[in-house]
Amino acid sequence: MLLIPAIDLKDGKCVRLQQGDMQAATTFGDDPAAMARRWLQAGARRLHLVDLNGAFAGRPINEAAVKAIVRAVGDTLPVQLGGGIRDLDTIERLLDDGVSYVIIGTAAVKSPGFLKDACSAFGGHVIVGLDAKDGKVATDGWSKLTGHEVVDLAKKFEDYGVEAVIYTDIGRDGMLTGINVEATVKLAQALTIPVIASGGLAGMADIEQLCAVEGDGVEGVICGRSIYTGALDFVAAQARADELNGRV
């Protein structure tokens, strides 16, 4: 079970939002590279970056901060990045910058042909982010709810060759109310590619629940507000996950 610290970037700073609301941002650090080193030293095995400005602008905005993070962690820590990735040139540039995986969200839903092309051109480096509420996919920084069912879209994207799916319950994101384990497992069972849980991680109980369903295809969980507020001790949580899944 991968516990993946999230670094959300807004105006070059590290923040966390509540339910995707840019006006409800809490700043947790002014130095994204230092934050990345913090999680590297804590034993993280992957980092999750979100360019929040980019998600709303439709193009990467915080690339300087992303580059600084990649330089800070070197080759030792894979970095996945989402937010405003809408064309193949952008993907190529980000991968050249040292990003390991690009996360395509809104563009995957609105332009599935783009996603298919991205998987063909950059196989092994494309993750799809599906944000949902009550089983329906949302786009445009969660501001628009579509009629698409999560499972149906995920199956189609799996056929395109995506590496994994990040499933976020947007009703819970940033609220510390607990992961929607049931919906995450339902999605994972419908796919053969890994699913990464996201949205609402509250504490160790969530980690233990997710470890219990790792065999269903839930590979990891994105850790956001909980590890910044202290609700979850990242080091202890990763150690517990390793213990439960036989890595110790």
Which positions are catalytic?
A: 8, 131
Q: φ, ψ for residue 24 (rounded to 5)?
A: -110, 50
Give me the amino acid identity at 88. Answer: L
DSSP 3-state of 10:
strand
- Burial grade of 224 (CB within 10 A; 0-12, 13-18, 19 or more): buried
- Which CA distances in Å does 196 have to 63, 88, 142? 24, 24, 18
Q: DSSP assignment, residue 216?
A: G
Helix axes 150-160, 181-190, angle to 10 degrees: 40
CB distance 114 to 158 below 8 Å: no
Beta partners for 195? 165, 218
Instruction: For residue 9, give both structure tokens.
Output: 């970037």
Q: Which helix (H) or strand (E) holds 90?
A: helix 88-96
What's 71's DSSP letter? Answer: H
